[in-house]
Amino acid sequence: MKLLARWTAWLITVSTLLLVWSSPPVQAAPDTAVTNTANFSTDVIYQIVTDRFHDGNPSNNPAGASFDGTCSNLKLYCGGDWQGIIDKINDGYFTGMGVTALWISQPVENIFTAINYSGINNTSYHGYWARDFKKPNPAFGSLSEFQQLIATAHAKHIKVIIDFAPNHTSPAMETDPNFAENGKLYDNGTLVAGYSNDPTAMYHHNGGTDFSTVENGIYRNLFDLADFNHNHPAIDQYFKDAIQMWLNMGVDGIRVDAVKHMPFGWQKNWMSSIYATSPVFTFGEWFLGVNEVSADNHAFANESGMSLLDFRFAQTVRQVFRDNTQSMHSLHSMIAGTAADYRYVNDQVTFIDNHDMDRFHMDNSNKRKLDQALAFTLTSRGVPALYYGTEQYMTGGNDPDNRARIPSFSTNTTAYQIMGKLAPLRKVNPAFGYGTTQERWLNDDVFIFERKFGKSVALVAVNRNLSSGVPINGLLTSLPNGQYVDSLGGLLNGAGLTVANREASPFTLAAGAVAVWHYTTPEVEPRIGHVGPTMVAAGNTLTIDGRAFGTQKGTVYLGGTAITGANILAWEDSHIQVKVPPLNSAGAGAGRYEVKIQTANSALSNVYPAIEVLTGPQVHVRFVIQGAQTTFGENVYLSGSIPELGAWNLNKAIGPMYNQVVYQYPNWYMDVSVPANTTIEYKFVKKQGSSAVWEGGSNRTYTTPSSGTGTVVVNWQQ
């Protein structure tokens, strides 16, 4: 059944390819069934604001002043729900666009009260004002409708990603318990805490953030949202349990709201609890403005075990294709820069607009700009996410104007057609999902780039100049000799390409054109395209996707550790799953390890960038060091014996620690993810550049809690 569906999908796709090539034929996609939750690199995501998509069940619409069935007041509920999404899955709207994953609004119960700001009522239609993370939002549907949504999606080979916002509940005022719902949190109907009566400090009470530093953004409130203290054991456990409840219903992925605003150590410990049972693709939202490049953002994507929404990609694409404030040179530097800065660049989620920025499309006289940006995104590295309605050329400025109800489900728009032609290629040709990116031709208006994975190649040419064509001479490519048709079928004025001896025959890239040419053939040598999750502990499932693994079990190497026998859970030609073994009996083999495989015929694969193997299941501990005086420019770090604390490597020490909000200088604190029930040695160290001043005395020791959270408060020892 599964096989039949895959073949049908393949046949549909291949008929749209029309690759003119003598030998060998385009390879069937042996790819990633919908059950492969660890790998989204061959998927295309569609982002839905559930309330604004489709009302499939009017009986769940909120009553009274919170609801506007005409959806003209965009701050009120409009009626969209899970049944509406089910209806659209069933009528083929997503499949026709090649969409294989849906990202839906946070599904949990939100406040019911409308909040009056300056005389205007605001509702929680967007799903970000939670009150009970263990119940469904009744305006979106019941739990059984949610499960039906998942079952319906899976039957059509579509994955489901939920938005999730564990940073906060809802707007609250410290001084007025009667404001809105006082940020109250419920546990499946039982009140846990309210913001202004909070004796055990389940929330932060440090005022609102001014966004001046990362610390300020984490421990103060995001706007007026009641901000959680994740170091509270009940809050930590609540979110581990709540996400588990949704994962148990078959959710395939998580989009984590506001990751810049939650302690990184807490998030790492939460992710490790998720991956212990469910290796689901998880990507965080770390907003970056125009021209913003952030080392903290890269570090988070590289170290946290989750991916990020690729705002650097989105902002640059908007500047280049829409605003004309940057040239194609910037597009190329963004691609090169992100490839260097993100350890797993193919796992970052790309997009051209979303619910927190004005819509890409502005002017109906010029849809080509959007069409180009969309085609570029679908053929670039990263997992593309299309914001609902972008395919219908919806316009709209900042929130909530960018969140109007989708006006039509037309399948005839050019953007819809582009999706239908390009999105499925990610399942057909691994160069799109797994490939490297190389610049082949560049000027202010033209970018021609090549994606390559083993012998599979895709060449993409974009001319953003809408009034003149550009002659292209001397275009080098890895495409084998032959003639290639444009995968877009000329939809964006592309034409065929002739290649001889690694060079394309001269041609003119038409004004405003995008052309996509590609080639794929079975690999002979084993080649890894994707490994996930990128943070695991012993006992977790690790998934390796690629080509030519063979059909008989071989060996997976995690650094020097060979994984064989019963620890290999699945071994197919393009897909392997293993159970991560303890790296040695003492569990001291944690650290970062590259991944490679060896086939049953002894052929060795390429080496995949190192993933993190944790010492064991993690808990959250706050380390506080008091009385640590520093000179200007010097900061305090935490160093320790385990890899999670840098294994005494000063360059990997945890910090700089914070000293402004929860504790103030000369006291410093940091929230850290450490292995549970483990005795560790640690010390604090003052660092400035390459100079380091360690604490005196012998190493400190601490046995971490086996569950719950911990707090360690000590004084700097001379």
Residues found near ligand NOJ in the complex (CB under 6 A): 126, 128, 165, 222, 257-258, 285, 355-356, 648, 683, 694, 699
Active site residue 257: yes
Q: Which residue is at the shortest CB distance from ligand NOJ? A: 128
- Measured CA to CA, the distance from residue 352 to residue 715 in angstroms comes to 49
- Measured CA to CA, the distance from residue 19 to residue 489 in angstroms comes to 10
Q: Phi, psi at residue 281, to the nearest 5°?
A: -60, 125
- Measured CA to CA, the distance from residue 419 to residue 166 in angstroms comes to 33
Catalytic hit among 68, 174, 257, 523: 257
Contact 467, 451 (CB under 8 A): no
Among ligand NOJ, Ca ion, none, residue 261 binds (CB under 5-8 Å by kind)? Ca ion
At 302, list the tokens. Answer: 């590289």
CA distances from 200 to 102, 134, 195, 710 (A): 38, 21, 11, 15
Cβ proximity to Ca ion: between 52 and 255 the closer is: 52
Among Ca ion, ligand NOJ, none, residue 355 binds (CB under 5-8 Å by kind)? ligand NOJ
Q: Which of 69, 30, 64 is nearest to 51 (CA)?
A: 69
Among ligand NOJ, Ca ion, none, residue 648 binds (CB under 5-8 Å by kind)? ligand NOJ
Cβ proximity to ligand NOJ: between 256 and 457 the closer is: 256
Neighbours of 25 (CB within 10 A): 12
Among 36, 37, 41, 57, which residue interacts with Ca ion (rule: CB under 5 A)? 57
Q: How far is the CB of 72 from ligand NOJ (least distance, A)?
A: 21
Q: Which of 202, 113, 114, 211 is nearest to 166 (CA)?
A: 202
Within residues 226-255, the interface with Ca ion by CB under 5 A covers: 227
Alpha carbons within 13 angstroms on the beta-carbon side of residue 352 total 31
Among Ca ion, ligand NOJ, none, residue 694 binds (CB under 5-8 Å by kind)? ligand NOJ
CA distances from 345 to 41, 342, 446, 534 (A): 10, 5, 23, 12
**Helix or strand or coil: residue 651?**
helix
At 602, list the tokens. Answer: 């002894």
Contact 450, 438 (CB under 8 A): yes
Cβ proximity to ligand NOJ: between 128 and 434 the closer is: 128
Q: How far is the CB of 262 from ligand NOJ (least distance, A)?
A: 11
Catalytic hit among 224, 252, 285, 353: 285
Which residues have a Cβ under 8 Å from the Cβ of 421 and sit 6 or more positions away? 16, 98, 487, 488, 489, 491
> Is residue 60 near Ca ion by the rule CB under 5 A?
yes
Residue 70 gets which letter from DSSP?
Answer: T
Cβ proximity to ligand NOJ: between 37 and 167 the closer is: 167
Cβ proximity to ligand NOJ: between 465 and 699 the closer is: 699
Among ligand NOJ, Ca ion, none, residue 128 binds (CB under 5-8 Å by kind)? ligand NOJ
Q: How far is the CB of 172 from ligand NOJ (least distance, A)?
A: 14
Among Ca ion, ligand NOJ, none, residue 372 binds (CB under 5-8 Å by kind)? none
Q: How far is the CB of 163 from ligand NOJ (least distance, A)?
A: 8
Cβ proximity to ligand NOJ: between 11 and 650 the closer is: 650
Interface region with Ca ion, contact rule CB under 5 A, candidates 98-106, 162-170, 183-191, 313-321: 162-170
Which residues have a Cβ under 8 Å from the Cβ of 40 and sit 6 or more positions away? 101, 159, 253, 281, 347, 383
> Is residue 50 near Ca ion by the rule CB under 5 A?
no
Which residues have a Cβ under 8 Å from the Cβ of 23 and sit 6 or more positions away? none
Cβ proximity to Ca ion: between 50 and 639 the closer is: 50
Q: Which residue is at the shortest CB distance from Ca ion? A: 81
> Is residue 81 near Ca ion by the rule CB under 5 A?
yes
Residue type at 572? E
Size of site (CB under 5 A) for Ca ion? 9
CA angle 74, 351, 281 (to 5 degrees): 100
Cβ proximity to ligand NOJ: between 648 and 702 the closer is: 648
Q: How far is the CB of 640 from ligand NOJ (least distance, A)?
A: 8
- Measured CA to CA, the distance from residue 377 to residue 368 in angstroms comes to 14
Among ligand NOJ, Ca ion, none, residue 79 binds (CB under 5-8 Å by kind)? Ca ion
> Is residue 61 near Ca ion by the rule CB under 5 A?
yes
Contact 589, 582 (CB under 8 A): yes
- Measured CA to CA, the distance from residue 283 to residue 158 in angstroms comes to 18
Within residues 96-155, the interface with Ca ion by CB under 5 A covers: none
Q: How far is the CB of 126 from ligand NOJ (least distance, A)?
A: 6
Q: How far is the CB of 698 from ligand NOJ (least distance, A)?
A: 7
Q: How far is the CB of 223 from Ca ion (least distance, A)?
A: 11
DSSP result, 324-359: -SS-HHHHHHHHHHHHHH-TTGGGSEE-S--TTS--
Among Ca ion, ligand NOJ, none, residue 257 binds (CB under 5-8 Å by kind)? ligand NOJ
Cβ proximity to ligand NOJ: between 515 and 670 the closer is: 670
Among ligand NOJ, Ca ion, none, residue 427 binds (CB under 5-8 Å by kind)? none
> Is residue 215 near Ca ion by the rule CB under 5 A?
no
Cβ proximity to ligand NOJ: between 112 and 648 the closer is: 648
Within residues 256-275, the interface with Ca ion by CB under 5 A covers: 261
Among ligand NOJ, Ca ion, none, residue 356 binds (CB under 5-8 Å by kind)? ligand NOJ
**Helix or strand or coil: residue 82?**
helix
Q: How far is the CB of 609 from ligand NOJ (least distance, A)?
A: 28
DSSP result, 367-400: THHHHHHHHHHHHSSSEEEEETTGGGT----STT
Burial of 690: CB neighbours in 10 Å, binned 0-12, 13-18, 19+: exposed
Q: How far is the CB of 683 from ligand NOJ (least distance, A)?
A: 5
Residues that bind Ca ion (CB under 5 A): 55, 57, 60-61, 79, 81, 167, 227, 261
What residues are labeled active site? 257, 285
